[in-house]
Amino acid sequence: MSLVLVPQVRSLKFREQQSRHELAQLMLVKWGASSDTGTLRVQNEDSFLAEEKIFVVADGMGGHNAGEVASAMAIKMLAEAQANGISDSSQLAKVIEQINHSIFQAAANQTDQRGMGTTLAVLALTPNETTNEVSAAVANIGDSRTYLFRNDEFRQVSVDHSYVQDLVSEGLITREEARTHARRNIVTRALGIEPSVAVDTWTLPLITGDRYVLCSDGLVDEVTDEAIEKCVKQKIEPQKVADQLVALANANGGRDNITVIIVDVIADGANSPAATSVSPKTKLKKKSLVKKLVLSGAIAITAVVAIVLLSSFLRSGYFVAYENSKSDARVLIYRGKSFLWVSPTIEADSTLTREDLSLGLAREIVAQPSFSSSADARDYVNQIRDVVEQTKP
């Protein structure tokens, strides 16, 4: 697919604040969400969705009301898709591709909406009915981001589709320089701009203690990753974290719409209600299966270890011997030992033959003298060669 550079054109003026905080019915996550117009924009073209199993930040672009329309369409269609169930990241990508087509068609049919589009950052909880586990499917289009704070490490999960990210990837500018670059608002991929779009997706395990951050570029353009991390590390409710980040972006200029969703994982995906509702009989079967798998695994590991140790033993050591029983057989340095189907390998050719050796040396080679290293074996052969050279007429 050909990529286009799409400038994010937005409007100006007053502030508008929206916030929301709920506890998921599945008791797997809890979250907080906050969206603000910023200090300069007239309207908020960002849209967000934060409910039960899906969290989305959409940053509209296109000017006037068009950007707001595109982001709202994406949110509405993702909510409908989640109501019907999103099983995995692959299905999530297909849903987003369909949304892209819908926005593109809407833009083509409405003169005042030509060129509208939206970025997208999505986190969807996707249950696996077979294993009764729940994973996190992450999707990304454009420069809205998803971060993850796990085990005291903070990292960006998504990869920006933007002009400055391309420069960073090529090593032409640093991440810090990208934050203030004159073309930082140019994205290379967005929903609704082309008839089709490539969607980046990831599947992550749901682990207790994880904290996800979804945000529009209105946050990252004003607040450094280090400052975001410092705020996210606080052991406070996710709604307070979302509010603090929006306030911090506004304090640093607030030149764009700002939207932040904080999602805290309070129960592992493996400990979902679906998993706890399994019948006792099924649990016994699972325990039996687990025991069998553990025993099989232990046997397999033991076999592998034994094979590795045996292989290591058979490959150890060096010895000097004749190539065969003929009178002109070469004197060779071998590595390893003979055992069943395993044979020693030739390490080096001494260039000497049985005919070159005296009776005493010949018998010595028949005894196949062994050595702990290749260097020792080579030294022994060189000594024999010296003797042979000295006894030549």
User: Which of 54-63, 119-128, 294-303 shows the lowest mean pLDDT across its residues?
Assistant: 294-303
312 vs 21: which has the higher pLDDT: 312
Residues of the chain above pLDDT 90, percent? 51
Yes or no: say if 246 and 36 are a contact pair by the CB < 8 Å rule: yes
Both tokens of 100, joined, read 């892209």
Q: Which CATH architecture has domain 6-276?
A: 4-Layer Sandwich (3.60)
Pairing of strands 145-150, 153-156: antiparallel
Average pLDDT, the chain: 84
Q: How many CA atoms lie within 13 A of 364 on its CB side?
A: 10
Q: How confident is the model at residue 7 (pLDDT cuts 50, 70, 90)?
A: very low
pLDDT value for 10: 36
Domain positions in the chain are: 6-276, 318-391
pLDDT digits over 150-206, tens only? 999 999 999 999 999 999 888 999 888 888 888 888 999 999 999 999 999 999 999
3-state secondary structure 37-75: CCCCCCCCCEEEEEECCEEEEEEEECCCCHHHHHHHHHH
Residue 47 in this model has a pLDDT that exceeds 50: yes
pLDDT value for 392: 72
Yes or no: say if 185 and 217 are a contact pair by the CB < 8 Å rule: yes
Residue 63 in this model has a pLDDT that exceeds 50: yes
Q: What is the pTM of this model?
A: 0.64
User: For residues 260 and 71, what is the distance between their CA atoms, to the nearest angstrom?
Assistant: 15
pLDDT value for 17: 43
Cβ atoms within 10 A of the Cβ of 64, count?
15
Residue 6 in this model has a pLDDT that exceeds 60: no
13 vs 217: which has the higher pLDDT: 217
Pick from 138, 156, 139: nearest CA to 147: 156
Q: How confident is the model at residue 239 (pLDDT cuts 50, 70, 90)?
A: very high
Q: How confident is the model at residue 22 (pLDDT cuts 50, 70, 90)?
A: very low
339 vs 179: which has the higher pLDDT: 179
pLDDT value for 386: 78
Both tokens of 21, joined, read 């905080």
